Chain A
Amino acid sequence: MVETLLAIGIVASIFVGFNIGGSSTGIAWGPPVGAGIVKKTTAAALMTFFVFLGGWTVGRNVMDTLSEGIITIDLTLSAGVAVLFFIGTGILIANIFGVPVPTSMTTVGAIAGLGLATDTLNYVTIAEIVSWWVVTPIIGFWVGGIIGRYIYPEVNRRVQIEKSDGPLLILDRDGTIPKPAFGPNTTWSEIGSTAVVLVIGCYMAFSAGASNVPNAAAPLVGEAGLEANIAIVIATLAIGFGGFTIARRTMDSVGGELSDIPLLAALFVMVTASTITTLLSWIGIPISLVMATVMTIVGIGWGRATRPVTFREAVTRDTEQSEIVPGAITAEEMEGEPAAPIGEEEPEEVLNAGDLFNPRAVMKYVSMWIIGPAVSTLLAYGFFILVPGVA
């Protein structure tokens, strides 16, 4: 009986890992693959390795939080399997309806629901986690905003990411031993930018491992029956499997949207989101990589879109006024804006970039990250109340 249940749990864990592999490979490698810098297979291989590294090291802190931090008792096998089914259901809903369900947050929600139902919820831990969930999108948004407003335009003027025709490196077979040589059109700066793109992709894969391996692995670790190391390996293999298979599709859908953004901007997004995710995972806070990514993108877009107006006006949405009164340009408004002259008379049909990121649209994004975990908490709570034997 226990073996059967454990086997079911492992299958559920593989299902969860497989789907995580699909979505997070798309996010981490969509831009480089879209730009033609790496092949999908190479991306999946690098993904698997760095997910493992992230899960094996930093991921353990998150695993501790999930398996023994949120609730005061150890997860039993049956409870762990039930939690995995809630995570899996969340992912299934995400796949069927195309809604972004943040897996890490669903996991916490499901375990918290179990804690509520059995009266074993560690309120201090859950309060800490939830406060980080509130703060993180704001951090991502503001860091993105600063990048979009001040850093990206400067860097974009100086840096060119090159991709020449033909292979980057070729094997020189003239000598007795084949040795690698530059491709026909390869330059040193192309080698450099390719290396940077690869390193950043690996970094994001690492952070995906740190934050996501625990979702698939933690529910089965400890009293539930699996060794942490074995659970991490199983989760990694499942994520890798997803990376090699369904990620081919997600790299075009999720990753395709990401590669709509200029590669340089995507790299900024990836570094910011990975850093946020890795740091939080380090201190044991389960966090959604997708959330950090989306909020950084929205931040960069917003920061850049509001560039023709001053910072304060952007925040207070007092933009119309500054357009009507061209005489009201003050020294303050000129700060940090050498690239685009302000207050210039604009042609009548001008598009207002601010329309791309109005506050209501941004609020909708934030609310997406509240609905997912809230629903999973309620569902898990209801389930564990109705079926008390499982916990």
Chain B
Amino acid sequence: MVSRILVPMDDSDHASQALEYALDNYPDGEISVLHVVGVPSMMMGEATALALEDDLSEAAAKRSEPVFERAHEIADEQGREINTVVEIGHPARQILDRAEEYDTIVLGAHGADWSRATRRFLVGNVTETVSKRAPVPVVIVR
């Protein structure tokens, strides 16, 4: 049976490392990269910008392009294919909502801007929340 691996990614280096780990350790796995846009922030700029778009899916896809481009580059180096999934809102919640569709979640030790207190307050520690609440095994890549 092919194992389905979920790799939630943001634009941090840890996220790239998580994807590399997943590609190395699940050579036969079906890897899906999830990126969440419109994450809560101090002024709610991105979330509001997305909410004001006429075509939310298209706008979300456009905003996730840089992360998916990098993900594809990393996968291409190993000659692998990956799926990409874009979600909006709160990262931990979106990851957990999809968790059951996968066998394993692989994610970086912490995401971008983790040192910002605002982000810590508004978004929380995504890695910690996911590893605590996910119904499937979680691999944390350092």
Contact = CB atoms under 8 A, between A and B. Distances in A.
Interface residues of B, number: 30
Nearest to B124: A364
Contact of B43 (A262, A293, A358): A293
Contacts of A260: 45-46, 48-49
A98 B51 contact: no
A294 interface: yes
Contacts, number: 104
13 contacts: A156-B52, A256-B45, A257-B42, A257-B43, A260-B49, A294-B44, A300-B52, A301-B52, A350-B57, A353-B51, A355-B89, A364-B40, A365-B122
A73 interface: no
Contacts of B93: 355
B51 A304 contact: yes
Contacts of B46: 257, 260
B15 interface: no
B3 interface: no
Given A304-B52, A351-B86, A356-B89, 12 more contacts: A97-B117, A97-B118, A98-B119, A254-B43, A257-B45, A294-B43, A294-B44, A297-B43, A300-B48, A350-B57, A351-B88, A356-B50
Interface in A320-357: 349-353, 355-357
Interface of B: 38, 40-52, 56-57, 60, 86-90, 93-94, 116-119, 121-122
Contact of A301 (B44, B116, B118): B44
Contact of B88 (A156, A256, A356): A356
Interface string A277-306: 000000000000000011001101110110
Contacts of B50: 353, 356
A261 B121 contact: no
Interface in A133-149: 148
B52 A148 contact: yes
A297 B44 contact: yes
Interface string A210-228: 0000000000000000000
Interface in A55-72: none
Nearest to B40: A361
A382 interface: no
A207 B60 CA distance: 34
A265 interface: yes
Contact of B47 (A97, A349, A357): A357
B121 A368 contact: yes
